């Protein structure tokens, strides 16, 4: 599949103006173009975007109680289909199926896991028969292990980079920060020389600075992660033992496997109170201390990443129209599960904007009332 599979409509002032090209804005642009809509994307290439620092983990079983991720039965197959479509469109490999090895530190955790394996609806996601692979002799043994099936790692930075190139090629990208002073409301909405029907804000944690949507209860959590090199480790699955170790087939960010093999993403930290979005010595120490305990083999820190995630108190995304200005919409709040949540809800919002398909009440911003 190439971009000609999605014919670009003859240019006119866009029907939809998308602000932000993280994974939310990228996926929304994809589905709107697939539906042959006129769009323009505005993005200033924010280097500390959480999408660019994320490992893109899809983990069907989460939390200390080992529960299924919210609506995973419908979200997971749709995400897989979407990323495989993007692989064809962009001529990349971005979707990597990987099981997750979960460690247990005591008998209660192991018993809780075993009970989950017997629960209806969990069999396709949980196994008590664990194959540690190369982790067996290269990591400090845990009290017990479980294995999560149907996990995946999605190369979000690669998708964003390649889709950005595509948008630039088709003259659908304005590389600048959105200036709210240039936004006016008369009979129609106007932004500089553009007259879009609807502006959709996909700004991630920067939503706090948005004068129209900052009433929504978004919480910024700062996270830090490392890209490390572990020579000849050959880990194929993801390992969760307080921190994640995630193999990177294509590298990450500026690094690529052909020039620097044996790369792994390691993270992450969670910090609610922060003064910036930059890597810190505290975050580096936290992650390296865990690695030094966990790994029996040497590792090298290649890159230290930091970003602020857009998280929501009820752990549900933000979709919908502004209560006073229906020409303004939002797609945000994907948080740490953006790789799994993003495709389904981007398509859901696109259907709402194009066809008026009702929004799911669980994600509609109307659940928070008016500003």
Closest CA to 154 of 54, 68, 70: 54
- What pLDDT shows up at residue 9? 45
In this prediction, residue 321 has a pLDDT band, given cuts at 50, 70 and 90, of very high
Give the DSSP H or E segment for 165: helix 156-169
> What whole-number distance in Å separates Cα of residue 300 and Cα of residue 49?
24
Tell me the pLDDT band of 371, cut-offs 50, 70 and 90.
low
Q: Which of 201-210, 259-268, 273-282, 303-312 has the highest mean pLDDT?
A: 201-210
In whole angstroms, what is the distance from residue 307 CA to residue 288 CA? 18
Of 28-42, 257-271, 338-352, the least confident: 257-271
Radius of gyration of the chain, Cα coordinates, nearest whole angstrom: 21
- Arithmetic mean of pLDDT over the chain: 90
Give the tokens for residue 365: 């911003």
- 32 compared with 313, residue with greater pLDDT: 32
Pairing outcome for strands 67-68 and 100-104: unpaired
Burial 59-77 (b: 16+ CB within 10 A, else e): bbbbeeebebbebbeebbe
**In the structure encoding, which two tokens stand for residue 173, read together?**
């990208």
10 Å Cβ neighbour count for 128? 14
Angle between helical axes of 72-90 and 156-169 (0-180°, round to 10) = 50
pLDDT category at 86 given cuts 50, 70, 90 is: very high
Query: Does residue 260 register a pLDDT over 70?
Result: no
pLDDT for 252: 56
Cα diameter, the chain: 68
CB 328 within 8 A of CB 178: no
| DSSP assignment letter at 107 | H
Torsions phi, psi for 273 (to 5 deg): -105, 110
Q: In which band, very low, low, confident or very high, does the pLDDT at 253 lie, cut at 50, 70 and 90?
A: low
The percentage of the chain sitting over the pLDDT mark of 90, rounded to a whole number, equals 75
91-114 residue pLDDT tens: 999 999 999 999 999 999 999 999
What SS3 state is found at 56?
coil
pLDDT the model gives residue 8 = 46
Task: Count the Cβ atoms, other than its own, within 10 Å of residue 371.
Answer: 14
Q: Are 277 and 246 in contact (CB under 8 A)?
A: no
Lowest-confidence pick of 191-195, 259-263, 350-354? 259-263
Res. 151: pLDDT tops 90:
yes
CA angle 357, 358, 362 (to 5 degrees): 135
Residue 315 Ramachandran class (φ > 0 left, ψ -120 to 50 alpha, else beta): left
The helix/strand/coil state of 256 is coil
**Can you give the three-state secondary structure of 236-256, one letter per residue?**
CCEEEECEEEEECCCCECCEC
pLDDT band of residue 254 (cuts 50, 70, 90) is very low
**8 Å CB contact between 267 and 225:** yes
Beta carbons of 55 and 265 less than 8 angstroms apart? yes
pLDDT of residue 13: 58
- Is residue 6 over pLDDT 80? no
Length of the chain: 371
Name the token pair of 313.
Answer: 């108190």
pLDDT at 1: 42
Query: Residue 319: beta bridge partners?
Result: 331, 364
Distances (CA, A) of 215 to 64, 71, 209, 341: 31, 27, 10, 23
Residue 75: pLDDT above 90? Answer: yes
Q: What's the rounded mean pLDDT across residues 2-10?
A: 47
pLDDT of residue 250: 60
Distance of alpha carbon 225 from alpha carbon 241, whole angstroms: 15
């Amino acid at each position: 599949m190439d971009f000609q599979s999605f014919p670009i409509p003859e240019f006119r002032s866009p029907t939809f103006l998308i602000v932000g090209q993280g994974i939310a804005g990228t996926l929304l642009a994809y589905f709107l173009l697939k539906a042959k809509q006129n769009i323009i994307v505005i993005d200033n290439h924010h280097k500390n975007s959480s999408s660019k620092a994320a490992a893109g983990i899809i983990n069907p079983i989460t939390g200390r109680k080992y529960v299924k991720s919210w609506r995973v039965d419908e979200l997971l197959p749709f995400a897989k289909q979407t990323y495989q479509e993007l692989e064809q469109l962009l001529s990349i490999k971005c979707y990597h199926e990987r099981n997750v090895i979960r460690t247990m530190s005591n008998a209660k955790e192991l018993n809780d896991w075993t009970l989950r394996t017997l629960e209806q609806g969990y069999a396709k996601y949980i196994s008590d028969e664990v194959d540690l692979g190369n982790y067996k002799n290269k990591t400090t043994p845990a009290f017990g292990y479980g294995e999560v099936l149907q996990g995946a790692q999605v190369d979000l930075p690669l998708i964003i980079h390649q889709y950005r190139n595509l948008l630039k090629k088709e003259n659908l990208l304005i590389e600048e920060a959105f200036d709210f002073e240039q936004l006016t409301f008369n009979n129609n909405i106007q932004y500089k020389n553009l007259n879009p029907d609807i502006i959709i804000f996909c700004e991630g944690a920067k939503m706090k600075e948005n004068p129209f949507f900052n009433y929504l209860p978004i919480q910024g959590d700062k996270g830090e992660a490392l890209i490390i090199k572990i020579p000849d480790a050959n880990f194929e699955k993801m390992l969760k033992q307080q921190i994640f170790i995630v193999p990177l087939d294509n590298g990450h960010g500026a690094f690529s496997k052909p020039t620097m093999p044996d790369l792994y993403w390691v993270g992450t930290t969670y910090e609610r109170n922060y003064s910036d979005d930059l890597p810190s010595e505290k975050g580096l120490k936290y992650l390296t201390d865990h690695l030094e305990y966990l790994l029996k083999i040497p590792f090298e820190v290649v890159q230290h990443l930091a970003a602020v995630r857009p998280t929501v108190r009820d752990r549900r995304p933000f979709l919908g129209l502004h209560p006073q200005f229906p020409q303004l919409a939002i797609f945000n709040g994907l948080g740490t599960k953006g790789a799994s949540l993003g495709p389904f809800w981007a398509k859901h919002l696109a259907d709402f904007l194009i066809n008026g398909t009702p929004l799911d009440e669980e994600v509609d911003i109307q659940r928070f009332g008016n500003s």
